[in-house]
Amino acid sequence: MRVRQWGTTVPLALALTVAGTAVPATAAGPQAATAPQPLARLFDNTAVSDDTRAGGADFDGAGNSLSAQDLAAAGWTPGRSLELDATRLTWPHTAPGRPDNVRADGQAVRLSGPGTALTFLVAATGGDVTGTGTVQYRDGSRSAYELTAPDWRTGPLSTKAVALPHTNSAAGQRTEAVRLYAVTVPVRPGRQVRSVVLPKDPGPDRDLHVFSAALRRDTPGWTGSWAASSAGYTKVGPWRDQTLRLVVHAGAGGRQARIRLENTFAATPVDIGAASVAVQRDGAQAVGKPVPLTFGGKRATRIPAGAQAFSDPVRFTVPADTNLLVSFHLAGPVGAAPVHKEAIQRSYVSATGSGDRTRDAGAAAYTGTLTTWPFLSGVDVTGGPGSIVALGDSITDGVKSTQGANRRWPDTLARRFQNQTALPKYGVINHGISANRIVTDRYKGDGISTDTGGVSAQHRLERDVLAQTSARTVVVFEGINDVRSGTSAAEVIEGLRNIARRAHERGLRVVAATVAPCEGYPDCYPEVDQRRQAVNAFIRDSGGAVDAVLDFDAVIRDPQRPQRMLPAYDSGDHLHPGDEGLKALAESVELRKLVP
């Protein structure tokens, strides 16, 4: 099932809405007659079977189920804590063949505390399912939410939490990919949640199954200093008992730090034996002894497939506008990894079998180099008012800028915020992906691939924007790859509207940048420019869909030939600005437009 919004069709997984004002019980749907219960006490369905008793569960009413062995191979073991899109959920602590999920039918679930959003770990059977539930707050108010669970066998791979390779049944096991989803809906900021009422039964032959639910906690006092998006899942190494030392550029500074590692798109867990952070002196050499990091108080951590891990806060002064060395030891063999391909930065790897070198201050152990960022997706610092997220494609990613010079336009924008005193010193984090699109996926979201163009901006919005540390504003600068690939202006505009709506639901300020010209690039035909101009016309006059506009097109175009980039700003390929063009984009931004 799909829904229609703004004149085009979008996946149900994107159709998440919340009422912004208090609603009476009758408007939010029937309320459960009993007092709220812990979710596990409401389990009434069995989704997981052991392969030795493949018929020991019936998830979909037709005798089919998930494999306990597949879940274990993905690191999703009973009772396992799973950090998904900055929300800590728990996989049910039940044995195969025992109830492990609830079929939503208006049950009241005990779930308390503050939060910025509410995440459900779900899947539907019998087709995609959408239903409306209620969040109940301690002050007596309520808000409605709309929850969509994609079907476990046919839902999109690009938005899944995890995919498993088999389906079990009484007839045995068959090879068929099945999926589980983490779907997030808004809650009212600043309110204490008391309980959550699940949607009602959707009717015959289909069910919305809930395995876990949790509130995404706010991150006051933390600001994003550096970030990068998982753009694909590629073959690497293979790395065996080696340490990666990744060079990243901190924008905002602070007196404490933490890192975020992600196992996005993976089918198996990854073992991190140790990790550290240091200021870079030169190459792989650190200034002083690297500071060790822990995860839940331990040096090592295992990150399940599709999940992430935040290190514990550590006392470590991060200077603003400074290169850092983030090192982590890969304890087990790694042959594939989520990567950000266009690092535009040289990083380092130790020799095979060299073990944990995370505490080495010197560079001698780091005999190999990398030009990608595997696993690492964020560095946060304490202090600061929060983060501005740049959501974009290769121009935001910094393609054609000078390697190692940190001249991407978000880098320059970050320096501008840090070097002024009139406004809060926001962190600026870069979630550009080269070749990325708004409407369609380049990478399909599952399996090893050479395509590192990422899933679409709409499909990665939750992970790369809404779940980012203290995100306050999103700047969307994307669309040229859509119109170059034949996507209509109307579809791109629809995608921009959808991004803006979802960001507004979470309280973010939305700023859109006009799409830059590309005449002279091999596939930038006149009809491409016509579509680009139509998208820009919408951005400049969106009717309130966005809060502010950055006219990057006007900054970078040639006044004598506006469908082409000004030669002084052109990297030479006529699509990507060079260092001077990227600098011009960043310096054109009126900083107040980005402040919530």
Tokens representing residue 67 in the block: 């494999």
Residues 477 and 506 placed together within one structural domain of the fold: yes
Could you say which of 216, 251, 282 is where a domain stops? 216
Q: Per the structure, how many domains does the chain have?
A: 3
Residue 355: inside a domain, yes or no?
A: yes
Is the pLDDT score of 160 beyond 90?
yes
Q: Which of 161, 190, 216 is the last residue of a domain?
A: 216
Same structural domain, 333 and 402? no
Task: Report if residue 221 sits inside a domain.
Answer: no
For the chain, how many residues are written?
596
Asked whether residue 225 is domain-assigned, the answer is no
| Structural domain contains residue 276 | yes
Q: Which amino acid is at 358?
A: T
Asked if 389 and 491 sit in the same domain, the reply is yes
Where residue 496 sits, what CATH number does that domain have?
3.40.50.1110
Regarding whether 292 and 212 lie in a shared domain, the answer is no
Work out the average pLDDT over 321-329. 98
- 426 and 485 in a single domain? The answer is yes
Q: Tell me: do 151 and 297 sit in the same domain.
A: no
Domain shared by 438 and 531, yes or no: yes
* 478 and 525 housed in the same domain: yes
Integer Cα distance of 526 and 515 in angstroms: 15
Please check whether residue 222 lies inside any domain of the structure.
no
Residue 20 has pLDDT above 50, yes or no: no
Confidence of residue 34 (pLDDT cuts 50, 70, 90): confident
484-515 pLDDT, tens digit each: 999 999 999 999 999 999 999 999 999 999 99
Whether residues 25 and 55 fall in one domain: yes
Single out the residue of 270, 309, 269 nearest to residue 293, CA to CA. Answer: 309
Find the domain containing 315 and state its range: 232-381
Q: Are residues 569 and 450 in the same domain?
A: yes
Cα-based distances in Å from 258 to 249, 376, 378: 14, 11, 8
Q: Could you tell me if residue 269 is inside a domain?
A: yes
Does any domain span residue 223? no
Q: Which two tokens stand for residue 353?
A: 């079998």
Q: Which two tokens stand for residue 103?
A: 């079929």
* Same domain assignment for residues 538 and 404: yes
Is the Cβ–Cβ distance between 276 and 327 less than 8 Å?
yes
The 10s digit of each residue's pLDDT in 222-259 is 999 999 999 999 999 999 999 999 999 999 999 999 99
Tens digits of per-residue pLDDT, 405-455? 999 999 999 999 999 999 999 999 999 999 999 999 999 999 999 999 999
pLDDT tens column, 79-137? 999 999 999 999 999 999 999 999 999 999 999 999 999 999 999 999 999 999 999 99
CA dihedral 59, 69, 239, 314 (to 10 degrees): 70
152 is written with which tokens?
């476990």
The answer, yes or no, to whether residue 399 has pLDDT greater than 90, is: yes
Which of 120, 99, 104 minimizes the C-alpha distance to 47? 99
Write down which residue in 216, 241, 260 finishes a domain.
216
Question: Would residue 359 count as lying in a domain?
Answer: yes
User: Are residues 15 and 144 located together in one domain of the fold?
Assistant: yes
